[in-house]
Chain A
Amino acid sequence: MSALSTLAKPSTRKATQARTRLRASARYAPTLATVGLFLAMFAVGSGLYPSFLSGQVFLNLFIDNTFLIVLAVGMTFVILTGGIDLSVGAVVALSMMVAATLLQQGWNPAAVIVLVLVIGSGLGFLMGLVIQYFDIQPFIVTLAGMFLARGLCYVISLESIPVTEGFFTGMAQAQIPLPGELFISPGVVLALLIVAAAFFVLHHTRFGRTVYAIGGNEHSAMLMGLPVKGTKILVYALSGLCSAIAGILFSFYSLSGYSLAAQGMELDAIAAVVIGGTLLTGGTGYVLGSVVGVLVLGIVQTFIAYDGTLSSWWTKIVIGGLLLVFILLQRLFARKTA
C-alpha cells in the first residue's frame, strides 16, 4: 500500500466500501421515506374503506394527475439546478386557452398542439435567458412570467371556452384496457414516457449530470468548464415545454379552456417535487421521487373523496403539513450526511 493510504482514516478497503454503501442508501433515504409514506397511506385507506384496495384506485391516481406528473418532471429539473419556476400553472392555463380558442376556430389539432408546445418552451427559454444573462433570481423572473401568462389568458377570453374537437374529445374518453378489468388513459402512457425520458436524460447524459453539478455548486461547475449557462437556460425551456404538455393533457381531461384554470398548480408541483425528496437548494433528488410525490398528493385527495364529509380544503392542509414534515426530514438527513 502506498503512503497515501494513510489519508483514509479507516484503513481497510472493506470498511470504506461498507461506509460507501451506507452513504449511498442515505442518498436515497428521503425518496424511500416518500415511498414508505405512500404505501402506509394506501394501507390505511384500504383498512378504512373496503373498496380502496383496488388496482383501479391506484391507476386513477395516475389518470387524474397526468398533468401534475409532467409538471413535476419539469420542476424537478429546475429545482435540481437550485432554481424555481413559478410560472408553470399560468403556462398550463395559457396553453389550454390557446388550444381551446384555436380549436374553436377550426385549426388542425396537430398544428394546435405543436404551436402550444412552441409557445410554452419559448416562454421558458426567454425566462431562462433573463435569469442567466441579467443574473436575476429565478423566483422574480418566473413570478413575472406567471403574471404575463395569466394576463395573456384574460386577454384571450374571460369566459370558459369549451373544446368540442374530435381528437381532443376522443382522447378524453379513450381508455387503454389492462388485464384484470383495469384501464389507464393515453395521457398516463405519455406522462410515464416523459418520466422515463427525464430519468434517462438526468442520469445518462452529460446534460443531466451538469444539472446536478450546477445544483451542487454552480461556481464550481463553471470552474470545471461545464456549460453552465446553456444548461440553466435549457432547464427553464424544458420546464416551459413540460408546462405546455401538461396544458394539453389538462385539456384532454377537462375539455375546456378557462383563464382561471390551474390556479396554484405551480405550488402543487413544487410540493410534489419536495415531498419526493428533491432538495430545494438543488443538487439532490430523483425524478422518480417526484412522481411518488404526485401520487402522495393524489392519495390525500382520494382519502378526502372517500370520506365524503371533509371539505376539499383539507387536502391543502394535509399537503402543507406533509411539506413541512418532509422539509424537516431533509434537513435531518442533510445534517447526518454532511
Chain B
Amino acid sequence: MNEIVPVVEMTGIAIGFPGVKALDGVDFRLFQGEVHALMGENGAGKSTLIKALTGVYTIDSGTITVLGERKSFTTPAESQAAGISTVYQEVNLCPNLTVEENIMLGREPRRGGKTGRGSIDWKAVRSRTREVLAGLHLDHVEPNSLLASHSIAVQQLIAIARSVEINAKVLILDEPTSSLDAEEVAQLFRVIRELRDKGVAILFVSHFLEQVYEISDRMTVLRNGKLVGEYMTRELSRMSLISKMIGKDMEALAELDNGPAKERTAADASAMPFIEAVGLGRKGSVSGIDLAINPGEVVGLAGLLGAGRTEIARLFFGADKADEGHLKVKGIQEKIRSPRTAIDKRIAFCSEDRKQEGLIGDLSVRDNLILAMQASKGWMRRVPRRVQDELVTEYIEALDIRPANPDALIKNLSGGNQQKVLLARWLVTEPGLLILDEPTRGIDIGAKTQIQKLVNQLAAKGMSILFISSELEEVLRVSDRIAIIKDREKLAEIHNNGVSVEDVMSVIAGGTQ
C-alpha cells in the first residue's frame, strides 16, 4: 500500500470525563480505499475515538486533520461537512419517516436553482433516492416506505446510502454486524468492498474477530484509552491481536500458575444437571447455546469482553427473553420469562454492574441483604425482624463483611464488601444456580481470594455455579468446566484438568485445541 497522505490523521487525541481518562494521547490514521478495523475490548476507547472524529465529543487535546486540513469538530454537522459519515450500531435514523427522507434529510433538493432556498422538490428527492438505492443494490426498497417497515439489515444499508449520498470520503461503521445474520453480513461486506474500491476510507469496528479478519486491510489496537499499535491485518495473527487487546503477552500468561488447587473433587458427571440450555439464543444477542450445569459444579464462561458472556447469563436469568431454544431446570422444560420466574426456580444472578443493577446505596447492609428474600416471599409477608437479624449476623460473619454493622449504609462500604453483601443477598434465598458475573471486578486481592474460596465452598455444598470473569486465570482457578464463548456463540467446552491460560487463548484465537 502506498504511504500517501492519510484521509484522516489524528494525533495525540485526549478526552477525559469526570474521573476517567477515556482517551490518552491516541494516534490514528485512515487511508483512502482501505478498510481499517479499530480493535480493543469494551472500554478501550473505540467509541470515544469515533465520537471525537464525528464531532459528538470535543477533544481536550491533540489534532485532527482531514484531507490535509486541520479541523476541530464541535458538532456532528461539522464533521459531516468535512466528508465524514457514520453508521451506528443502533441505526441512528428516524423510524417515523420514509426511506427517502432518511437518506436526504437536511440536504433535500430545493426549488429555485442551485442556491435555491425554496420548497423541497419532492420529485427530485424521489429520483435521487432511487439512484442511490440502486447503487447499493437496494432497488427493491420503495423510497416512500416507512423506515420502520424494513429489517435492521436494510435499515443499516439505508444508513450507508445516506453516507453515499453525502459523497462521504470517510465511512465509519460502528458494530454494523451485531444484529445481522450471516447472510446479511455477507451482503453488507459486499457493499463495503464496493465502496472501498471506489476510494472511500472505511473505519470498521466490530467485536467479531473473524469478520474483522475477513474485511479489514489494517487495524489499530487500543487498550484502556491508549494506543497499542497499528498493524496490517494479514501480518498480525489472531493470537497476537488478542494478547495486544488484553495487554498480556503469551509468555506472561503461560507463566501464571493455576493458583491453589480446587479443594474438592469434581461433581458426579452422571447426575441430572440442575439447569440445561438447549440451543438457547436471542436475535442480536447470542445464538445456539448448549450448556448444562450439574449440582455442585462450577462452570466458567471464558471469552473476550463483548463475546456474549453476560448475554448468556441474562438469558439464564430471564433478564432478556430467549427467542430460540429452551431451558430445562432439573430435567423439566421451563419458560423463564422474567427474573421473577427465575427466582422462583431458584436461580440467582449477581450482576456485573453492582452499583447500577444490584445494590441500593442508600439502604443499609441489612436491607440490601434481605431484599431478594423479601421479594421471593412477596411484599405482603414481611420477614420478621428477629429472622432478619439472625440471617444478617450469620452472613456478615460467614462472609467476613466489614464493617460488621448491619445498619451501615451500603454506599459507604468498600467494593469488595459491597460485592459480598450482594452475594449474601442471593445466598439467603438458597439458590440452586448462582450466576456470578464479574464478581471480583474492582475489588482488592484479599477480597478476591475470599470470594473465590466461597465459590468453592458453595459448590461443595451442592450449588450449581455459572462463573463469569474477564480474568482467565480466575476462571481457570474456580471452574470445573469451561465454556469458551466467541463471537456470540459457544466455541468449545473443556474440562478443567490442567488447562492453561494459553490453551484457552489459542481456542479463542481459532488455533489448535
Residues of A in contact with B (beta carbons under 8 Å apart): 1-9, 13, 16-17, 19-20, 23-24, 27, 200, 204-206, 209-210, 212-213, 215-217, 219-227, 283-284, 337-338
Contacts and interface: CB of A to CB of B under 8 A. Distances in A.
A1 B157 CA distance: 17
B153 interface: yes
A16 B151 CA distance: 13
A219 B119 CA distance: 25
Nearest to A5: B140
B144 A20 contact: yes
A239 B54 CA distance: 33
Given A7-B154, A8-B154, A212-B97, A2 B137 contact: yes
A223 B86 contact: yes
A216 B119 CA distance: 22
Interface of B: 54, 56, 75-77, 79-81, 86, 88, 92-97, 101, 105-106, 108, 110, 119-120, 122, 136-142, 144-146, 148-149, 151, 153-154, 157, 162, 183-184, 187, 190-191
A4 B106 contact: no
22 contacts: A3-B187, A5-B139, A7-B140, A8-B154, A13-B139, A16-B141, A17-B142, A23-B146, A205-B120, A206-B120, A209-B108, A209-B120, A212-B101, A213-B101, A215-B96, A217-B92, A224-B92, A224-B93, A224-B94, A225-B76, A225-B81, A337-B148
Q: Is the interface of A mostly helix, strand, loop or mixed?
A: helix
B161 to A, nearest CB: 12
Contact of B77 (A205, A215, A225, A338): A225
Given A210-B106, A225-B106, A24 B144 contact: yes
B140 A226 contact: no
Given A7-B153, A27-B146, A283-B96, A206 B139 contact: no
Contacts of A217: 92-96
A8 B140 contact: yes
A275 B94 CA distance: 24
A216 B93 CA distance: 8
Which residue among A27, A221, A223, A283 has the maximum number of chain B CB atoms within 10 Å of its CB? A223
Given A4-B187, A206-B120, 8 more contacts: A5-B140, A9-B151, A16-B141, A209-B101, A209-B108, A213-B105, A216-B94, A283-B96
Nearest to A26: B146
Which residue among A1, A221, A227 has the maximum number of chain B CB atoms within 10 Å of its CB? A221
B106 A226 contact: yes
A119 B132 CA distance: 46
A224 B106 contact: yes
A206 B191 CA distance: 29
A289 to B, nearest CB: 15
A7 B92 contact: no
Contacts of B146: 23, 27, 337
B175 to A, nearest CB: 15
A16 B184 contact: no
Contacts of B79: 225
Contacts of B96: 212, 215-217, 283-284
Nearest to B94: A216
A204 B94 contact: no
Contacts of B93: 217, 220, 224
Contact of B95 (A9, A23, A200, A216): A216
Contact of A3 (B56, B77, B81, B190): B190
A283 B75 CA distance: 23
B78 to A, nearest CB: 8
8 smallest A-B Cβ distances: which pairs? A216-B94, A2-B137, A4-B137, A225-B77, A216-B96, A283-B96, A204-B119, A220-B92
Which residue among A3, A222, A224, A226 has the maximum number of chain B CB atoms within 10 Å of its CB? A224
B140 A210 contact: no
A212 B106 CA distance: 12
Given A23-B149, A216-B94, A338-B148, A5 B137 contact: yes
A338 B95 CA distance: 9
Contacts of A19: 145, 149
A206 B153 contact: no
Contacts of A222: 76
Contacts of B119: 200, 204-205
B94 A7 contact: no
Contacts of A283: 94, 96-97
Contacts of B141: 8, 16
A58 to B, nearest CB: 31
Contacts of A1: 139-140
B127 to A, nearest CB: 17
B105 A13 contact: no
Contact of B145 (A23, A200, A215, A227): A23
Contact of B105 (A4, A16, A20, A210): A210
A205 B142 CA distance: 22
A16 B153 CA distance: 17
B97 A224 contact: no
A283 B76 CA distance: 21
A171 B162 CA distance: 51
Contacts of A5: 137, 139-140
Contacts of B144: 20, 24
Contacts of A24: 144
B408 to A, nearest CB: 36
Contacts of B97: 209, 212-213, 216, 283
A264 to B, nearest CB: 30
A278 to B, nearest CB: 12
Contacts of A210: 105-106
Nearest to B92: A220
Given A20-B145, A205-B119, A220-B92, A7 B184 contact: yes
